[in-house]
Amino acid sequence: MKNEPIEIIDPGLQPERTVFAWNRTMVSFLVVSAVFLRWLPHYGVAMILLIAVSSSMAFGILLSQRARYRRMALGLKYEKVHADVVAVLMTTLAMFVLGGYGIFLVLGPN
C-alpha cells in the first residue's frame, strides 16, 4: 500500500490545495527568518532562537510535504480524509514562541 500508485479522481482539488497552502506557510516562515537575520545586528545573538524556530518550521514543512500529499490523496481515494492536527499544533506553537520571544526582545530589558 505504501508504494501503491495514487489515482486522483479530482485532479487539482484537495491534495493540491493543501500542498499549496503549506507551501505558502513554508515561504512565510522563510521570509520571517530573513527578517530576523536583518534584525540580528540590532538585537544581537538573541535573534538566533527566532531564526532557528522559523527556519526549522520551514524545513519541517518542506520535508513532510510528500507524505502529506500522499496521505491526502489516499484519504480522498478511500473517502477517509483526516486533518493533520500535529502539523497545525506545531505551527501554532511555533507562532506563539516567535511572538512571545519577539515581544520579550522588543519590550524586554534593553
CB neighbours of 13 closer than 8 A, spacing ≥ 6? 76
**pLDDT (0 to 100) of residue 20:** 86
Looking at residue 16, its pLDDT comes to: 75
- At 75 the pLDDT is 78
Answer for the pair 50, 102: CB distance below 8 angstroms, yes or no: yes
Maximum distance among all alpha carbons in the chain? 58
pLDDT at 69: 79
> Could you count the other beta carbons within 10 Å of the beta carbon of residue 96?
10
DSSP 6: P
| Calpha distance 76→14 (Å, rounded) | 8
Flag residues of the chain having pLDDT under 50: none
